[in-house]
Amino acid sequence: MVGPTRRPLIAVVGRLDASREDELPLRGDPAVARSACEQVGGELLRNGFDLLVFSSEPQYAEALFVAGYVAAASPGTPGRIVARPARHQEFVLNSPRNTAVELQVLQDTSVEWEVAYYRSVLSADAVVLVGGGRSTRIAGIVAISQGLPVLPLAAFGGGAEQVWVNLDRDRHGVGDDDIAMLGAAWTDDSAARMAGYLRREIDRRRQEREQELRAVTHRARAARVGLAVAAAALVGALATLALAGGPGPAGPKAIGLLLAGPLLAAVAGAVIRDSLAAGQRWGRAAVLGLGAGAVAVLLYVASQLLTVPDLLDRLDARRLLFFVVPVGFAAGFTFDLVYDRIRAGQDPVSGITPPAVAPDRPVP
């Protein structure tokens, strides 16, 4: 990710060697294409970018970008070039000794250089492509698939033009005007406009990543808070078992504990269930669980009162809590099922539909 203290690193990929075009031919005037590479290299320097290149051999476009990059450098606007040549190649920077460009050569030691090459491309903050063949096209498509900003100089054909076509299909937020600009014929101000496009895309995608990171951090924090609430509610529900006294008349304390225990358990069950879901909203889940637990427990107690009418005259709250606390937790954990049963006119605990009450006498 591009940080506030690090300059964006731009990978340069492509070649303008017409002898190896494969089925992706180059277009336009070769002299204009070479000049365009140097112009873009200079604009990358002026926009505060570092360069990532892989070869200094003349058939590759990197040498042209490097030439323009170094020519635009000065003590007031320094630059940095990171070179990752294959282990059997040397990288030579043809520039004056007093240049303001720092060169960092990281020789690749991998036997399979192509794998290391594509991995290095993906380590950059953006990719510039010009000409080239299949490898250039593959590098661009892989960069697009990974959400990296891509700048294809489509006006000169080759693999870069195919990448522009793929970018038009898989925009990743790139607007119509920018797509048209990337595919337009080369003009005197094209290099500056393309460097500006690259800066906007890097900044936009950095902001998107920062927003995603903040969202992930917020969700993780909310999940921790939710689990803490669930743990506290569950401990509170279990504490009602210890606080409840023996059998006796149903006073405010006994009734309060009889209601608080299962309701706290319902909140704990709902929040724990919500923590297992993808989009966690533990506050909403707690309220829904509280409602489901209240209905389930009150109906359960009401059924006991119908069976034992004098239940409240000699209430054994502790014994009853051993039943209603699990009922509350189950109702909270399955609150959606409880509400579905209520809508269907069923008992939210057993799921049985009560029988219709027969009339006292036939309806005439």
In three state form, how does the secondary structure of 50-69 look?
EEEECCCCCCECHHHHHHHH
**Angle formed by the axes of helices 176-183 and 190-243, nearest 10°:** 140
b/e string for 119-155 if b means 16 or more Cβ within 10 A? ebbeebbbbbbbbbbebbbbbbbbbbeeebbbbbbbb
Task: Convert the pLDDT of each residue in 320-354 to its tens digit.
Answer: 888 889 989 998 898 888 888 777 777 666 555 55
Give the residue from 47, 106, 96 showing the smallest Cα distance to 70: 96
For residue 95, CA distances in Å to 35, 36, 77, 293 come to 17, 19, 16, 76
Distance (Å) of CA 115 to CA 53, 61, 111 = 15, 20, 9
Predicted pLDDT of residue 196: 94
Note down the domain range covering 284. Answer: 220-343
pLDDT in tens, 116-129: 788 888 889 999 99
* pLDDT tier for residue 301 given thresholds of 50, 70 and 90: confident
- Ranges 4-8, 47-51, 227-231, 296-300: which has the least confidence: 4-8
Number of folded domains that form the chain: 2
Residue 246 has a pLDDT of 75
* One domain for residues 184 and 74: yes
292 inside domain: yes
The pLDDT value given to residue 265: 92
Q: Do both 242 and 123 map to the same domain? A: no
Same domain, 152 and 241: no
Same domain, 23 and 139: yes
Q: What angle do CA 217, 142, 167 make, to 5 degrees?
A: 95
Q: What is the CATH number of the domain that holds 131?
A: 3.40.50.450
- Whether 210 has a pLDDT exceeding 80, the answer reads yes
Residues 273 and 320 in one domain: yes
Q: Cα–Cα distances in Å, from 81 out to 92, 196, 252?
A: 12, 20, 78
DSSP per-residue letters across 281-338: -HHHHHHHHHHHHHHHHHHHHHHHHHH-TTTTTTB-HHHHHHHHHHHHHHHHHTHHHH
Q: Which of 304, 300, 326, 313 is nearest to 241 (CA)?
A: 326
Question: Measured between alpha carbons, how far is 60 from 250 in angstroms, rounded to an integer?
Answer: 90
Q: Pick from 232, 241, 251: which is nearest to 312 by CA?
A: 251
Nearest to 57 by CA among 92, 5, 81: 92
Q: How far apart are CA 50 and CA 47, in angstroms?
A: 9
What residues does 315 pair with on adjacent strands?
248
Q: What is the mean pLDDT of residues 217-227?
A: 86
CA neighbor of 64 nearest in space, from 87, 88, 32: 32
Structure tokens at 11: 């990978």
Same domain, 123 and 163: yes
Question: Quick one: pLDDT at residue 202?
Answer: 93
Cα–Cα distance for residue pair 136/153, rounded to 1 Å: 12
249, 257, 356, 357, 358 from 364: Cα distances, Å: 48, 50, 19, 17, 14
Q: Does the pLDDT of residue 287 top 60, yes or no? A: yes
For the residues 183-199, what does the mean pLDDT come to?
94
Q: How far apart are CA 149 and CA 127, in angstroms?
A: 6
Both tokens of 336, joined, read 């959606």
Mean of the per-residue pLDDT values for the chain? 84
Q: Are residues 152 and 238 in the same domain?
A: no
Q: State whether 18 and 142 are in the same domain.
A: yes
CB 244 within 8 A of CB 317: yes
Residue 231 and residue 171 share a domain: no
Beta bridge partners of 14: 130
Task: Taking residues 130-134, report their average pLDDT.
Answer: 90
214 lies in some domain: no
Tell me if 362 is assigned to some domain: no
Structure tokens at 60: 């590759």
Domain contains 200: no
CA angle 317, 319, 324 (to 5 degrees): 80
Judgement on whether residues 136 and 176 belong to the same structural domain of the protein: yes
Q: Quick check: 104 and 127 in contact, CB under 8 A?
A: no
Reported residue count of the chain is 364
Same domain? 326 vs 251: yes
Return the pLDDT at 22. 57
Tell me, what DSSP letter sits at residue 110? -
**pLDDT (0 to 100) of residue 143:** 92
Residues contacting residue 138 through CB under 8 Å, at least 6 positions apart: 118, 159
182 plus 316 within the same structural domain: no
More confident residue, 38 or 241: 38
